[in-house]
């Protein structure tokens, strides 16, 4: 079975992007707590960047065109963030 895919593309700062970004920490040793705190800060910063870009009309899903960069067609109010609780809160 072949997937149909999407006709619109993910744009971040009006540049087409892949749908996933991974952050790699190149230090050899880091505590789990420090790693979580740093990744949470990176994630929060990126979420703010994406939402601000959506407000400014430069980030979102848009229609691909042959004539050049496309304009995002989504609104910040369309996004939802569901945080996962800390392991300590799950006890």
pLDDT given for residue 3 in this prediction: 58
Q: Tell me, letter by letter, the H, E, C secondary structure of 22-65.
A: CCCCCCCCCCHHHHHHHHHHHHHHHHHHHHHHHHCCCCEEEECE
Residue 81 lies in a domain: no
Q: How many domains does the chain have?
A: 1
Residue 69 lies in a domain: yes
pLDDT category, 18, cuts 50, 70, 90? confident
Separation in Å, CA 89 to CA 14, 36, 81, 82, 84: 39, 15, 18, 15, 10
The predicted model scores a pTM of 0.67
Q: Measure the CA angle with vertex 56, ends 51 and 61; round to 5°.
A: 65
pLDDT given for residue 49 in this prediction: 92
Express each pLDDT in 28-72 by its tens digit: 788 888 888 888 888 889 889 988 888 888 888 877 666 666 677
Residue 64 lies in a domain: yes
């Amino acid at each position: 079975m072949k997937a149909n895919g999407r006709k619109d593309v993910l744009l971040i700062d009006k540049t087409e992007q892949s749908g996933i970004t991974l952050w790699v920490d190149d230090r050899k040793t880091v505590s789990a707590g420090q790693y979580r705190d740093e990744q949470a800060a990176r994630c929060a910063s990126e979420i703010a960047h994406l939402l601000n870009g959506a407000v400014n009309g430069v980030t979102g899903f848009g229609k691909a065109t042959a004539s050049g960069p496309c304009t995002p067609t989504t609104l910040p109010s369309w996004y939802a963030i569901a945080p996962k609780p800390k392991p300590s809160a799950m006890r």
